[in-house]
A and B are shown apart, each in its own frame.
Chain A
Amino acid sequence: MESCFHCGEDCLEELITYNEKSFCCAGCKTVFEILNSNDLSYYYDLQEAPGISPKLKEDKYEYLENAEIVDRLLEFDHEKTQIVSFSIPSIHCSSCIWILENLHKLHSGVKSSQVDFPKKTIRLSFTAEEISLKELVVLLSRIGYEPNISLDNFEKKESEHDRSLIYKLGVAGFAFGNIMFLSFPEYFEINEFWLDQFKYLFRWLMFSFSLPVVFYSGKDYFISAYKGLRSGILNIDVPIALGIFVLFVRSTAEIVLDLGTGFFDSLSGLVFFLLLGKFFQQKTYSFLSFERDYKSYFPIAVTRISSEEEQIEEQVQVYKIRKGDTVLIRNEELIPMDAEILEGQANIDYSFVTGEADLVNKAEGDKVYAGGRQKGSIIKLKVLKPVEQSYLTELWSNEVFQKDRSFGFQSLTNRISKNFTIAVLSIAILATTFWLFADPTKAWNVFTAVLIIACPCAIALAAPFTLGNLLRIFGKKGIYLKDASVIERMAAIDTVVFDKTGTITTTGQTTAEYEGLELSDKELQMLGGSLKASSHPLSRSLYSILQHHGIRTPDSYKEYVGAGIECDFEGNRIKIGSASFTGESDSEEISNGKTAVHISSNAQYKGCFSFRNTYRKGMSGLFQQLSRNKYIIVLSGDNEGERDRLQSLLPVESGIHFNQKPGDKLEFIRQLQHGGRKVMMVGDGLNDAGALAQSEIGIAVSEDINVFSPACDGVMDASILSNLADYFQLAKKGVSIIQASFILSLVYNITGLAFAVTGNLMPVVAAILMPLSSISIVIFTTLATQILSKKLKK
C-alpha cells in the first residue's frame, strides 16, 4: 500500500502519481503543486508527510462577501491593513507553522501571518484590496488549513489573556530572591561591626519587599479564605491566609520592636511556592474548548431568498433570519433553525442531535429541526422558529448548563484542611495557655510560631503538583481533562454510562451485511457501476464497503428522488433503493428496523444490504475490565436493532437503553445520581451534551479531538477509549499519592511544631524547614507520578 506523500494516509480509493510521488487524492496533489511551484517545498523537508488533505468546497464561503459579516470577523480594519484571527484545527506540526507564516509567498496580498501553535490559531494581516477575506479563507482551505468559522466566532472577539497569575508569581519570586539575599548575614549570625550597623537597613528593605508579596501576590488567599469563612467552609486557604497574616504581623512587630529579623524570607517563599503550584495546576489545553455549545457548530450565515419573484439569493447572518423567511440549504450544510420544507427532497443526518445514525427522509411540507445536516440535493425551507428559539438551542436553556459542577465537590485537600485547621488552632491555644503560666514572655512567640510553622504549605502543594502532573500525563496519552479536580472526581466514579453511536461505535466506518438471494458476478459488477454513479450518501457508503468485482458502466441511468436508482446494462435492469421501489412489500421483516438498501434485478427482488455500525476495537475487553468495580450502562438514541450484538459485548449485569432522546439521557443520569451513584458519562456530539453536563464527569469521545467536543470535563481521543479502565486506575493512584504527600507534610509540620511549641523557632529553622518541606513534596509527587505513568501501556 502506497502512502500519500502529502498527508501520509494510505492511498485507498485512488492513487495519483505526480513528480515521482504518490498522492491519495487530487486535493493533496494540488497542495503539493501549489507549494512546489511557489518555492515552498521546504515544507516537506521539515517533516515527513506533514499535510492534511484539503476538503475543497469553495462556495461554502460565499457569506464572507457580506460586508457586515466580514466586519464582525475582522479585528482591525483601516485602509490597506486588515487583521483577522482564525482558529485552524489542522495545525499539528512545525511544518504547519512554517507554511502558514510564509503565506505571503503564496499571495502578495498577505502582509504577514503569525501562528500560535499551542492555541492552533493564526493571526493574519492582509490588504483587502488585493485579497478579500473570502479569498484568504479559500487560500487557506486549498492548502489544507481550513479555518473553523462558526457562530461562536461571531459573538466574542479575541478574549484577553489572563496574565495576573504570572505577574503575581513574578512579584513573589522577585521579592523572595531579594529577601533571601538580604537575610544572609542574619542566617549565619555574623557578629561583624559593619553588618550590625546596617542590619536595620536590611530589615526595612526586607519589609518593603514583602509588602507587594502580601498585599498583591497573596491577596487571592485572603479573599478565598474570607469567602470560605463567610459560607461556613474551612477550606485550605483559611490556614494559609492565617499563616501569611501571622508571619507578616509577627515579622513586622519584630523589626519595629527590634526583637529580631522576622520571617520575611519564609513569608515570600511560602507565597512563591503556593503560586507556583497554582500555576502548574492552571496549565490546561488552550486549543481545546471545554465549554462549547451549539454556537460552535452552527454556521455564521445562511442563504436567504430575499425576493420570492426574482429569486434573489443573499447571504445573511443567522441571527437576522426571522420567522417566515425562505432559506436555501445545500448539500452538507447544517440547518440552523426549525423550518418547514418548501421544495426539494431532504435527507437529513440528525446524528448531531439525536445520535441516530440513519438519514431521515423528509418531503415537502414536513418539518425539520435545527441541527440536522442535509445530504444530497439543495432544499428550500421556510423558517418556523429562529435560531435562538429552535428545538436544539432550547436544550441549552436547561439548568444543568448554568451550574458550575466543581462547586459542591469537596476536594481531598479541603476535606483534610478542615480537621487540620481545627487541630492547628487547638495546638496553638493549648501551647500558648501553657506558656502563659510557665513563662508569659514566651507565650506570644509560641502562639505565632505554631501558626507560622503549621501553615499547610506542603499540603496545599501536594494536590496541585500531583494532579497537574497527571493532567499532563493524561494529555500525552490522548485524554484531555479540563482541570485537576476532574481527576479527583474520577477516582470516585462508580457508574459509567456510554453513548452508543459514535462513542463505542466508529462514526465513519460501517459494515453492510447482505441478506437474500445470492448475486451473480455479473450482477455484482452492475451493482458496483450503478452505485458509483449515484451521489446518494447510502450508495456512496455501500460502494466503499463492497469488494469490487470490476465495474460496469451502465448504459442508462435514472435516479428517482426519495426512492432509488434504476440502471440498464445490456438489456438487464437493476434497481437499487427502498423496499417499495424494488418491489418488496414485507421489508420490515427483512431489514428488522435497520437501514437497508434493497436490490432487484430484472424485476426480481434479490435481497438487501443492511448497514450496521462497527464497534471500536477492544470494547468488550474494556467493559469486562470496568465491570469489576463499576456499573456499566449503554444509552442509545438508536432503535433496538442492535440489542443482541450489544448484549454480547457487555457484561451480564449491565444496562442497555434504546430510543433515548437528548432530554431522556439527561434525565436518566439525574435519576442515577438521585440513587446515590457517581456517574461518568462518555459520549460524543450535541445529543449527549445534556447528559455530559449533568453527570459528575462528562467525557467527550472524538476521532478528531480538535473538531468536536461539546461542553464537557474532558475530551478523549477515540482510539484510546479501550484503555479507559487504566485511566481510572491512574486517577485512583494519583489520589493515593496525594494522601501519601499529606502524611509526609504532616511529619514536617509535627517536627516544626516541636520547635514552635517549645519556643525555639529561630528564623533560620523556619527558613530551612519551610522551603525544604515544599520542595521535597514537589519532588516526591513528581517522581511518584512519573513512575505511575511509566507503568501505563502505550
Chain B
Amino acid sequence: MSIIYMLLAISVVVAIIFFVAFIVSVRKGQYDDVYTPSVRMLFDDELVKSPAKENQPVNKEKFN
C-alpha cells in the first residue's frame, strides 16, 4: 500500500505544475487584458479573405 505515497506525490506534483503554470502566466501578463485576445483570435481566418482582393481592382477602375 505504499503505492499511496507515490500516488500522493504524483498528484501533488501535478497540482504544483499547474500552479506554477498559473503563476508564470500571470507574470507574463495573461490576466492583464482578458478581453482583447478573445476578439483577436476570431480575426485570423478572415485576414486572408480573398474576395476582397479580387474586388479591389474592379472598384478602382470604376472610380478612377
Residue B6 CB within 8 A of the other chain: no
Task: Determine which of A37, A101, A178, A201 lies in contact with B40 in the assembled complex, contact meaning CB atoms within 8 Å.
Answer: A101
Judging by beta carbons under 8 Å apart, are B26 and A166 in contact? yes
Judging by beta carbons under 8 Å apart, are B36 and A115 in contact? yes
Residue A437 CB within 8 A of the other chain: no
Closest A residue to B55 by beta carbon equals: A41
Knowing A97-B40, A170-B23, A194-B1, say if A39 contacts B56 (CB, 8 Å). Answer: yes
Knowing A98-B43, A194-B4, say if A117 contacts B26 (CB, 8 Å). Answer: no
Complex contacts, B8 vs chain A, CB 8 Å: 201, 205
Closest A residue to B4 by beta carbon equals: A198
Task: Determine which of A98, A116, A167 lies in contact with B32 in the assembled complex, contact meaning CB atoms within 8 Å.
Answer: A116
- Inter-chain CA distance A163–B33, complex, in Å, is 12
Complex contacts, B49 vs chain A, CB 8 Å: 42
Closest A residue to B39 by beta carbon equals: A94
Judging by beta carbons under 8 Å apart, are B52 and A117 in contact? no
Judging by beta carbons under 8 Å apart, are B22 and A170 in contact? yes
- Inter-chain CA distance A45–B42, complex, in Å, is 13
Knowing A18-B63, A42-B49, A163-B26, say if A117 contacts B19 (CB, 8 Å). Answer: no
Judging by beta carbons under 8 Å apart, are A170 and B59 in contact? no
Complex contacts, A319 vs chain B, CB 8 Å: none
Task: Determine which of B4, B27, B34, B52 lies in contact with A39 in the assembled complex, contact meaning CB atoms within 8 Å.
Answer: B52
Which of B1-26 touch A at CB < 8 Å? 1, 4-5, 8, 12, 15, 18-19, 22-23, 26
Which of A113-137 touch B at CB < 8 Å? 114-119
- Inter-chain CA distance A98–B44, complex, in Å, is 10
Which of A721-742 touch B at CB < 8 Å? none
Closest B residue to A91 by beta carbon equals: B36
Complex contacts, B47 vs chain A, CB 8 Å: 42, 102
Judging by beta carbons under 8 Å apart, are A170 and B19 in contact? yes
Residue B61 CB within 8 A of the other chain: no
Judging by beta carbons under 8 Å apart, are B12 and A161 in contact? no
Residue A197 CB within 8 A of the other chain: yes
Judging by beta carbons under 8 Å apart, are A174 and B15 in contact? yes
Complex contacts, A194 vs chain B, CB 8 Å: 1, 4
Residue A36 CB within 8 A of the other chain: yes
Knowing A174-B15, A201-B8, say if A117 contacts B63 (CB, 8 Å). Answer: no
Complex contacts, A163 vs chain B, CB 8 Å: 26-27, 31-32
- Inter-chain CA distance A69–B42, complex, in Å, is 37
Judging by beta carbons under 8 Å apart, are A197 and B1 in contact? yes
Knowing A163-B31, A170-B26, say if A178 contacts B15 (CB, 8 Å). Answer: yes
Q: Measured between C-beta atoms, what is the minimum distance from B9 to chain A in Å?
A: 10
- Using a Cβ cutoff of 8 Å, how many contacts connect chains A and B? 70
Complex contacts, B56 vs chain A, CB 8 Å: 36-37, 39
Complex contacts, B46 vs chain A, CB 8 Å: 42, 45
Judging by beta carbons under 8 Å apart, are A97 and B22 in contact? no
- Inter-chain CA distance A163–B46, complex, in Å, is 34
- Inter-chain CA distance A171–B16, complex, in Å, is 11
Q: At the interface, is chain A mostly helix, strand, loop or mixed? A: helix
Closest A residue to B63 by beta carbon equals: A19
Judging by beta carbons under 8 Å apart, are A97 and B39 in contact? yes
Q: Measured between C-beta atoms, what is the minimum distance from B35 to chain A in Å?
A: 5
Q: Measured between C-beta atoms, what is the minimum distance from B13 to chain A in Å?
A: 12
Complex contacts, B1 vs chain A, CB 8 Å: 194, 197
Task: Determine which of B18, B31, B39, B53 lies in contact with A117 in the assembled complex, contact meaning CB atoms within 8 Å.
Answer: B39
Q: Measured between C-beta atoms, what is the minimum distance from A207 to chain B in Å?
A: 13
Complex contacts, B39 vs chain A, CB 8 Å: 94, 97, 117
Complex contacts, B40 vs chain A, CB 8 Å: 97, 101
- Inter-chain CA distance A167–B24, complex, in Å, is 10
Q: Measured between C-beta atoms, what is the minimum distance from B62 to chain A in Å?
A: 8
Task: Determine which of B12, B27, B36, B59 lies in contact with A178 in the assembled complex, contact meaning CB atoms within 8 Å.
Answer: B12
Complex contacts, B43 vs chain A, CB 8 Å: 97-98, 101
Task: Determine which of A18, A39, A97, A205 lies in contact with B53 in the assembled complex, contact meaning CB atoms within 8 Å.
Answer: A39
- Inter-chain CA distance A116–B36, complex, in Å, is 6
- Inter-chain CA distance A626–B32, complex, in Å, is 40
Which of A199-231 touch B at CB < 8 Å? 201, 205
- Inter-chain CA distance A722–B6, complex, in Å, is 67
- Inter-chain CA distance A148–B32, complex, in Å, is 21
Q: Measured between C-beta atoms, what is the minimum distance from B10 to chain A in Å?
A: 13
Judging by beta carbons under 8 Å apart, are A119 and B33 in contact? yes
Complex contacts, B23 vs chain A, CB 8 Å: 167, 170
Judging by beta carbons under 8 Å apart, are A97 and B26 in contact? no
Q: Measured between C-beta atoms, what is the minimum distance from B27 to chain A in Å?
A: 8
Q: Measured between C-beta atoms, what is the minimum distance from A362 to chain B in Å?
A: 47
Judging by beta carbons under 8 Å apart, are A42 and B52 in contact? yes
Complex contacts, A97 vs chain B, CB 8 Å: 36, 39-40, 43
Closest A residue to B43 by beta carbon equals: A98
- Inter-chain CA distance A72–B51, complex, in Å, is 44
- Inter-chain CA distance A68–B59, complex, in Å, is 45
- Inter-chain CA distance A162–B39, complex, in Å, is 24
Closest B residue to A45 by beta carbon equals: B46
Judging by beta carbons under 8 Å apart, are A161 and B29 in contact? yes
Complex contacts, A98 vs chain B, CB 8 Å: 43
Q: Measured between C-beta atoms, what is the minimum distance from A193 to chain B in Å?
A: 9
Q: Measured between C-beta atoms, what is the minimum distance from B5 to chain A in Å?
A: 8
Closest A residue to B33 by beta carbon equals: A116
- Inter-chain CA distance A197–B5, complex, in Å, is 11
- Inter-chain CA distance A19–B59, complex, in Å, is 8
Complex contacts, A94 vs chain B, CB 8 Å: 39, 42
- Inter-chain CA distance A36–B32, complex, in Å, is 33
Complex contacts, B33 vs chain A, CB 8 Å: 116-119
Complex contacts, A36 vs chain B, CB 8 Å: 56, 59
Q: Measured between C-beta atoms, what is the minimum distance from A399 to chain B in Å?
A: 35
Complex contacts, B12 vs chain A, CB 8 Å: 178, 205
- Inter-chain CA distance A163–B31, complex, in Å, is 9
Judging by beta carbons under 8 Å apart, are B52 and A41 in contact? yes
- Inter-chain CA distance A481–B59, complex, in Å, is 48
- Inter-chain CA distance A101–B5, complex, in Å, is 51
Complex contacts, B34 vs chain A, CB 8 Å: 118
Judging by beta carbons under 8 Å apart, are A117 and B36 in contact? yes
Q: Mark A159-179, 1 if CB is under 8 A from B, else 0.
A: 001010011001100100110
- Inter-chain CA distance A205–B12, complex, in Å, is 10
Q: Measured between C-beta atoms, what is the minimum distance from B17 to chain A in Å?
A: 11
Q: Measured between C-beta atoms, what is the minimum distance from A711 to chain B in Å?
A: 25
Closest A residue to B16 by beta carbon equals: A174
Complex contacts, B42 vs chain A, CB 8 Å: 94
Complex contacts, B36 vs chain A, CB 8 Å: 97, 114-118
Kindly list 18 other residue pairs between chains A and B, CB separation below 8 angstroms, not including A37-B60, A42-B52.
A36-B59, A37-B56, A41-B52, A42-B47, A97-B36, A97-B43, A98-B43, A116-B36, A117-B39, A163-B32, A166-B26, A166-B31, A167-B26, A170-B23, A194-B1, A197-B1, A201-B8, A205-B8
Q: Which 9 residue pairs across A and B have the least CB separation, nearest first?
A: A117-B36, A116-B33, A94-B39, A174-B19, A117-B35, A194-B1, A118-B35, A170-B22, A166-B26
- A residues with a Cβ closer than 8 A to B are 18-19, 36-37, 39, 41-42, 45, 94, 97-98, 101-102, 114-119, 161, 163, 166-167, 170-171, 174, 177-178, 194, 197-198, 201, 205
Could you give 5 example pairs across A and B, Cβ below 8 Å? Answer: A97-B39, A97-B43, A166-B26, A197-B1, A201-B8
